Structure 1
Amino acid sequence: MAVYHLRVKPIQRSKKRHATAAAAYRAGVCIVDERTGKKHDYRHKMGVLGAELCLPGGGTEERAAFWNRVEHHHRRKDAVVAREIEVSLPRELNDGQRWELAMTYAHELAGRYGVAVDAAFHAPRPVSDKDLELNPEQFHMIDPDTGHRHNGNWHCHLLFSACHVEPDGTLGKKCVELDPIHCRRRKILNLTQRERSRWAELQNRALERAGAACRVDHRSYVDRGNDRVPTVHLGGYAARMRRDGTPQLSEQAMLNREIVATNNEVWRLREQARRERIEERELKAWIKQPGVCSASGRIILESRMMDSIERSYLLSQQIEEEERSSVRQSRADFQHSQVTDEQIELTGSRPATEEPESASEMRSGEYPAPTPARLTGSVPEPPRDAQVRAKLAVRRLLCMVEQIDRAAAIREAMLDPDDRFAEVFQEQLLEVGIGAHGELSHGARPSQGDELGESADGTSAEHPGLTRADGAPVKR
């Protein structure tokens, strides 16, 4: 189905951007910036299906000469030399219909605001087998004309000057209708608010002429009365991470996953409720038919309703139990692997599996006598594995340079279900002078070497100068 997209972006010098570079990249040509002397060569860029510079009145001009004149026309070092509208083009149209739609909108913008518009028509990005292997969830489609696989993202870049342009190409004053600050001060609609509805109208008109059944809507979910949660914009870097299959997703990508899962769950529950309402209406209509006992019909209706409620409850309980069991299993596997690795690092060999002492005593029929600790009720020493894990966890913290990394590691360690580990871990943090948020006290510093290196006297072999807050050397 067609997807609506319209985004307005400024080209401003304060962010090291230039109109010549933007025009060269979007049109896939080579332009030399006469003001800076820099050469912007994008002739190797793939996917540029066409580009055309439109002046008010239907004229045109050579691209490099025009945008160099625009750069010389703006003298401020923080000037906005151009603005861009990026729009998506429907997949339901062919290349000729998409080009006609984009150029119609470009000529309309040039005449409405009295500016020059440089339209560049870009093809979708190809999707290879390796891309699908890295990220199987990404959208892709097969082009019916070429048979190639791509992401279906036909789009157009409309780069227009920030100043007025005469039909003969003469540059004028700043076009204040394009400035969002001017629109906010005058309390009028800005460029984005004005053009979103117009682009949706043009796109739907083109879809109707092509005989497509789908339509686009520029309004938000709130304006349409839809309670679906909209996803957030990923940006170029986050989208590239997701496309390349990087395991460490960005916060926006993780948030989008949660939003999509929530929307799908809400849709599933609503669909289930809709089916139940239909079944209830059909059953009530059946009860009212002649020859059907009303009492028996009500009993059947109530039994079906109770059965539906019970199925929903059992399903929710099953889902919750599966989530809890998966969390417990992942924690158990992580703790087991962590303890095993730490014992191997300390002893140099994998610990042998020993028989519990209680089991051998029970088979021999002998029970241990009460020890002084049991009689006096003294607090027992923490288990050896808890001490080892806490010590190694603190050593890893000392090997971290950034405070944000130490804070994240401390939060992860405090989620351990072993209470004794948490107590020993907090004691170790106080001993070496690390705060709850990863901050280092005076005298403590992060290490940069082997986490487990020790010398004969118990201090760090790699970092003998590592001390606590009170000035004493840190025991490793």
Structure 2
Amino acid sequence: MTQAGGWFHCSVKPISRSAGRSVVAAAAYRSGERLRDDRTQQTHDYRRRIGVEAAFIVAPADAPDWVYDAGKLWNAAETVEKRSNSQTAREVELALPSAVDGAEREAIARQLAEHLAERYGVAVAVALHQPSEQGDERNHHAHILMTTRRMEADGLGAKTRELDDKKTGGQEVRHIREYACDLINASLERAGLDERVDHRSFKERGIEQVPSEHLGVEASGMERRGKRSRRGDLNRENAKRNQRINELTEQRTALDGEIEREEASHQGAVGKEAESGSYWRDRINGERETSQEDPPPASPQGIQPEESKAAQSAFADSIALASSAQLNRQGEVKHGGLALSWVEHAKEQARELWQELLEMLKEEERQPPDRSR
């Protein structure tokens, strides 16, 4: 007897500028890459991100070669859109079966991507994510980004209106969910598993909580004496059915929540990244900019070399700790608008900050003494 898998999740949603989003940033995060956004002049570096099991791009047969370069593809998707509220990509989030191996999960995602590329004539980027260390170990899933324009031989062309149109949009989303469901069930069958998933909601499938039957005097008496009654058996079966429905509902809710939390975490990281990048650009381009020809500043009066070294060490330690925390949260460290490894560059950052402090103290020493007293 086949068992129903309650973990199935397949959603389709846009990536839009009106929500303050960049598809370059989204693609970098999902695939664990370093991509430069030409429109915002920001670098998004997620090469240290853990949990990316596989990443690849598929496209129509006549697509240009550059489409397989993620940076070129998603910058092209950003450049071709001129409106401030444009949708630059669509994303399909798909839960994948944990009961099959990694090759099978990748095959499911690849077949779905190839189908999307063929059906809509778009370029599709896929990233398979492993469950997080703190989350549900079954939460294997794929992020599938596709262009909102058809990929033609000379680049991005007309918009794909099928998913935008009110008449056809819902039907297309339903088709994508059903196609993904069929791919998953075929994979489960190949693996010899008796679990199957269904793209329909519980309501569409007629799965609802079943009320218990009133036992009545005779059946109640039988049950009290330890004898099974027909109505008692029916209530026990209904109770098992309701318990299974609750388990499936809770399982789907939990896995959906993990995917949503991952997305929210990414959005928070991008926001902090932009904030940090603008801060450092302001600092670097600010009024205390130092000429490259200036000699390194000497220790100001009153600060001994030993004290200077100790202070530099303290700066380095604090920056290393802060950078480590940022790396754990975001998968990257931002400095001067660039993504750097804190292990390799913490000391360099400390020297820069220390040099700036010394410049400030040195400038104060240049001020003429106050002789009014």
Within the candidate set 39, 56, 69, 1:35 is matched to 39
Name stretches of at least 5 consecutive residues in structure 2 with no aligned partner: 233-373
Tell me which residue corresponds to 1:108. Answer: 115
**Residue 70 of structure 1, CA deviation:** 1.1
Give the secondary structure class of the aligned counterpart of 1:178: coil
The answer to whether the 8 Å contact 1:83/1:161 transfers is yes
| 1:55–1:169 CA contact under 8 A, matched in 2 | no
**Would you say the 8 A contact 1:58–1:107 is kept in 2?**
no
User: What do residues 76-131 of structure 1 show as CA deviations (whole Å, max 9, x unaligned)?
Assistant: 1110010100000001110011111111111111111000000001111113xxxx
1:157 has 2:138 as partner: no
- In 1, the alpha carbon distance for the partners of 2:42 and 2:218 equals 81
Q: Deviations over 1:299-349 (max 9, x none)?
A: 99774156689xx9xxxxxxxxxxxxxxxxxxxxxxxxxxxxxxxxxxxxx
Residues 304 and 26 of structure 1: is their aligned pair in 2 closer, same or farther, counting only changes over 3 Å? same
1:67 partner letter: W
SS at match of 1:14: helix
Q: SS at 1:10's partner residue? A: strand
Give unpaired runs (5+ residues) of structure 1: 128-138, 141-150, 229-265, 278-298, 313-476
Matched, 1:125 2:127: no
More relative contact order in 1 or in 2 (CA 8 Å, sep 6+)? 2
Q: Among 71, 76, 83, which residue is 1:76 paired with?
A: 83
Offset at residue 29 of structure 1 (A): 0.5
Question: 5 Å matches for 1:235-250?
Answer: none
Q: In the superposition, relative to structure 1, how do residues 176 and 69 fare at CA in structure 2: closer, same or farther (>3 Å)?
A: same
Say whether the 8 Å CA contact 1:57–1:111 is kept in structure 2: no
Alpha-carbon separation, structure 2, partners of 1:22 and 1:169: 25
Of structures 1 and 2, the larger Rg is shown by: 1
Task: Give me the whole-angstrom Cα distance separating, in 2, the residues matched to 1:104 and 1:34.
Answer: 31
1:211 to 183, 188, 192: 192
- Deviation string for 1:272-317 (max 9, x for gaps)? x69x89xxxxxxxxxxxxxxxxxxxxx99774156689xx9xxxxx
Partner of residue 206, structure 2: 225
Q: How has the CA–CA distance of structure 1 residues 13 and 301 changed in structure 2, closer, same or farther, with 3 Å as cutoff?
A: closer
Report if the CA contact (8 A) 2:162-2:168 is conserved.
Answer: no
Return the alpha-carbon distance in structure 2 between the equivalents of residues 40 and 187 of structure 1: 35
Question: Identity of paired residues, percent?
Answer: 35
Q: 1:165 to 1:152 in 2, by over 3 A?
A: same
Kept in 2: contact 1:115–1:161 (CA 8 A):
yes
Q: Structure 1 residues 305, 174: CA separation in 2 closer, same or farther (over 3 Å shift)?
A: same
The amino acid across from 2:147 in the alignment is S
Structure 1 position 57, deviation (Å): 2.3
Given the superposition, is the C-alpha separation of residues 154 and 58 from structure 1 closer, same or farther in structure 2, using an over 3 Å criterion?
farther
Q: Is residue 304 from structure 1 mapped to residue 290 from structure 2 by the alignment?
A: no
State whether residues 31 and 127 of structure 2, in contact with CA within 8 Å, keep that contact through their aligned partners in structure 1: yes
Residue number in structure 2 paired with 1:172: 157
Alpha-carbon displacement from aligned partner over 1:42-92 (angstroms, at most 9, x marks no partner): 112110011111111286521101111111100111100101000000011
Letter in 2 for 1:80: Q
**TM-score using structure 2 length:** 0.54
How far does residue 16 in structure 1 lie from its aligned partner after superposition?
0.6
Pairing of 1:176-325 with structure 2 (within 5 A): 176-179=161-164, 182=165, 184=166, 186=167, 189-228=170-209, 270=212, 303-304=221-222
Against the structure 1 CA distance between its residues 114 and 28, is the aligned structure 2 distance closer, same or farther, given a 3 Å change threshold?
Answer: same
Match of 2:56 among 34, 52, 56: 52
